[in-house]
Amino acid sequence: MALSTRAKAVLASVSAVVVVAAAGIGYLMFTGQSDAIPFLGGTRDPVLCPLTGEEAANPDLAGRTVLAVKIENSPESRPQAGINEADIVYEEPVEGGITRFIALYHCEAAERVGPIRSARFVDPVIVSQYGPAVFAYSGGIPQVINDVASAGLQDVGYDTHPDAYTLDPNRSAPHNVYSSTRTLLRAGSDRGTPPEAVFEYDEEPPARQGTKRGRELHLEFSSSSNVFWRYQRNQGSYLRFHDETPHTAEDGQQVAAANVVVMEVRLEDTGIVDAAGNPSPEVIAVGTGRAWVLRDGRVIEGEWRRGAEGDVTELVDDAGEVIPLAPGRTWIELFPSDLVVEIG
């Protein structure tokens, strides 16, 4: 059965914390020991990760604030570190035909994350949906940095928190900035404010009626960001490729996701160019647009809706019903509306 609302996800987490606390207090009162605390009835209610819909392997992590990290995706930046530990990853087009990632960490930790690069206008718009998140990035124009503060995010950018970052001597600048989730959360003074669930989750695969085959997704952002996702039934996940080359992380594991969501978005000219003279677009992630949700080898078509920056993104099918995601990691592709989405 689907998790019906964001409130239910939070309520489940709160209930679990209350049960654990009561059991611990009772055990301490009667035994005076704290090295092993049993749970009432021998078990405890599962703590759900609101950004994956899965049971938390470490319930302590589920009570922390979200960490958002801006990760580079130019060919020179690969392989990246830590992207398979993110609960949700957004891919956004930037200047020069390249893309970058917003990696959201909540229920998993990563000892090494990067390369970390600069922020863009759409970043605070996306991240603000996940509460007072800690936002890590390396550089940004003043307007974007002001937007980070206005969105209520905890700014732990490289310029203000250089001690939270390391420069890898084996990587050339600017592809050499790294950190860890622990270090960045500590720099942000984690407020212990867990996010509410933005999306709904359901373990039950989508019915064949009303859906189409969705075993391969092709998104050609550009020649340098020619992305394929291919469904592996034996793994129950989509694997990511650049052209025919598997997209692997530093640990050698291929980038994988239970869900791949395509949000068709408009790009607007900002009047800003990079050092090479390439225009930097603004991704419009508020409003409505076509959407495709790939899970379990099927695709559900519909649209995304977000009325204002204070709202969260909804994914609905052609009948207006919410599209549930499969429990697990989700990649969200912010794909320009003037390009072609290919699904087979």
Per-residue confidence in pLDDT tens, the chain, 344 aa = 444 444 444 334 434 433 333 434 343 333 333 333 333 444 567 889 999 999 998 888 888 999 999 999 999 999 999 999 999 999 999 988 899 999 999 999 999 999 999 999 999 999 999 999 999 999 999 999 999 999 999 999 999 999 999 999 999 999 999 999 999 999 997 677 889 999 999 999 998 887 899 999 999 999 889 999 999 999 999 999 999 999 999 999 999 999 999 999 999 988 887 767 788 899 999 999 999 999 999 999 999 999 999 999 999 999 999 999 999 999 999 999 999 999 99
The residue whose two tokens read 């863009």 is 120
**Number of domains, the chain:** 3
> 82 and 34: one domain?
no
Residues linked to residue 287 through DSSP beta bridges, in sequence order: 306
> 133 and 87: one domain?
yes
> 151 and 246: one domain?
no
Structural domain harbouring 36: 6-42
> 176 and 107: one domain?
yes
- CB proximity list for 146: less than 8 A, separation 6 or greater: none
Sign of CA dihedral 301, 329, 171, 279: positive
For residue 94, which of 256, 222, 254, 246 has the smallest C-alpha distance? 222
Q: For residues 100 and 167, is the Cβ–Cβ distance under 8 A?
A: no
> 117 and 177: one domain?
yes
> 153 and 248: one domain?
no
CATH code, 139: 3.50.90.10
**Most distant CA pair in the chain, distance:** 71
Judged by DSSP in three states, 312 sits in: coil
Query: 61 to each of 106, 182, 211, how far by Cα in Å?
Result: 7, 11, 35
Residues linked to residue 328 through DSSP beta bridges, in sequence order: none
- Between CA 61 and CA 65 the distance in angstroms is 9
> 25 and 110: one domain?
no
Question: What pTM, to 2 d.p., does this model score?
Answer: 0.86
Residue type, 189: S
Classify residue 1: in a domain, yes or no: no
> 163 and 219: one domain?
no
> 16 and 76: one domain?
no
Question: Please, which contacts does 160-166 make with residues 24 or more away whose CB atoms are closer than 8 Å?
Answer: 161/187, 163/187, 164/136, 165/116, 165/138
- Which tokens in the block code for residue 133? 């998140």
